[in-house]
Amino acid sequence: AAAAAAPPSGLSTMLFSSVLVPGLRKMIQKGSLRISFGAGEDAVIGDGSGAKVELRVHSERFLWRTLLDPGMGLADAYVEGEITVKPDIIDLFRLTLANKPKGDEASPMAWTPMQVITPLAK
């Protein structure tokens, strides 16, 4: 079991609530993804139908990994124990794949981890 997370810093809380959560809300619309980050910092994303996945953040490093390298950040954070996923990491992948646009909406850049960090540019 992972150690209890330290209270998140102000900057990390801002990244969580204003960058990560809004980006994921655009990506995950079907199913349910609960993200827990520190005391009282939970977000539930999706319509609640279908698969239910919980991602618990144990380290602020997860946010920085994901921000700096969206492609590998999640994988590295999982391997390093900075996050846990329930029921399993495979369920998180299934949830994200179930939400991937199909047909004309599925352009190469239409659905990428970059959607999570693009609010920073605005």
Residue pLDDT tens, the chain, 122 long: 445 555 567 777 777 778 888 888 988 999 999 998 876 678 999 999 988 999 999 988 888 888 788 778 888 999 999 999 999 999 999 998 899 887 655 544 444 555 554 444 44
SS3 state of residue 22? helix
* 122 assigned to some structural domain: no
Q: What is the pLDDT of residue 104?
A: 56
Q: What is the pLDDT of residue 114?
A: 52
* 47 assigned to some structural domain: yes
* 93 assigned to some structural domain: yes
CATH number at residue 40: 3.30.1050
Provide φ and ψ at 57, rounded to 5°: -90, 125
Q: What is the pLDDT of residue 5?
A: 52
Tally the domains of the chain: 1
Q: What is the pLDDT of residue 120?
A: 46
Q: What is the pLDDT of residue 32?
A: 97
* 5 assigned to some structural domain: no
Q: What is the pLDDT of residue 60?
A: 86
* 58 assigned to some structural domain: yes
* 4 assigned to some structural domain: no
Q: Find the domain containing 79 and state its range.
A: 10-117
- The burial class, CB within 10 Å (0-12 / 13-18 / 19+), for 20 is buried
* 60 assigned to some structural domain: yes
How much is the pTM?
0.74
Provide φ and ψ at 78, rounded to 5°: -65, -50
Helices vs. strands in the chain: H and E counts, helices first = 6, 4
| Sign of the dihedral through C-alpha 38, 39, 45, 51 | positive
Q: What is the pLDDT of residue 115?
A: 52
* 17 assigned to some structural domain: yes
Distance of alpha carbon 87 from alpha carbon 24, whole angstroms = 19
